[in-house]
Amino acid sequence: MLVATALLVTAIWGFNFVIIELGVREVPPLFLVCLRFVFSAFPALLFVKKPAISWIYLALYGVLIGVGEFGFLFTAMKIGAPAGLSSVVLQSQAFFTALLAVVFLGEKFRWNHAVGLLVAGAGLVLMGVLHSSNGEVSMPWLALVFILLAGLAWAAANIVARKIGPVDALGLMVWSSLFSPVPLLALSWFFEGQDAIWQALTHLSMLSLGSIAYLAVLSTLVAYGLWNALIAQRGASAVAPFSLMVPVFGLTSAWLLLGQSLTLGHALAAVLILGGLVVHVFGNKA
């Protein structure tokens, strides 16, 4: 049951990147994130109990996840970051989390963190300098920087979550979602324009509506609810390593559904990043 449920959740999160790429084709990225968090909060907060933490922590977490992580990620995918490669690069959050934990939480930076960071860093550099050929995908430099910033924002949110301590993950996502829509709408209005927002609202296709529903309901409410239930039953140490499957599902779904085949160089870069992540997660247990 653990394996099946964990794989289901990571498959939902991996396929999420395909949904994002499809969604930003019709809806401005910042506005799409805004809609995601509107429907992640409402009407769920009527049924999900507010976690016993301060409003300041909820607001900080919500802004870091909504505006920081997903704002940069959705924008990166709008300007050309492929779904599969995006799912890999976003895992840089694990390394940023380790670095921020040293600075803000006084945790030790262990040998496996350093080795994993170096290996994954080599993969990121390789991915940034490679170009596409024969119609195969590549990662534009600006998009790569934006996804790294998304990973940094996610890492900062992880530090906030550690400061909060054990808490219901679904409740945290639902109630923190209250603080994302307003700044996202303001940023969308400023950078994407009111005409683009109005056009998106008045011409929502089934693809756009399906994307919003998937992002708000499946990716946020269902997946986080199942993930939290697994952690409550089996413990974080048993469940967390399954998150390594997210980029595997991301790459696979992008290949099957979007036809995003990788060059040999990009495949090597992805292997280096994922290999560095494996060392980072499991190296100290060897």
Per-residue pLDDT of the chain (286 residues; tens, 9 = 90+): 778 898 999 999 999 999 999 999 999 999 999 999 999 999 999 999 999 999 999 999 999 999 999 999 999 999 999 999 999 999 999 899 889 998 998 888 888 889 989 999 998 888 877 765 444 567 888 999 999 999 999 999 989 988 888 888 889 999 999 999 999 999 999 999 999 999 999 999 999 999 999 999 999 889 988 887 787 677 666 677 788 899 999 999 999 999 888 778 888 998 999 999 889 888 776 5
Around Cβ 196, how many Cβ atoms within 10 Å?
16
Task: Note the pTM of the prediction, 2 decimals.
Answer: 0.92
Number of structural domains found in the chain: 1
C-alpha to C-alpha distance for 29 and 79, rounded to whole angstroms: 10
Residue 144 half-sphere exposure, CB side, CA atoms within 13 Å? 15
Q: Supply the range of the domain harboring residue 90.
A: 2-285
C-alpha to C-alpha distance for 148 and 100, rounded to whole angstroms: 14
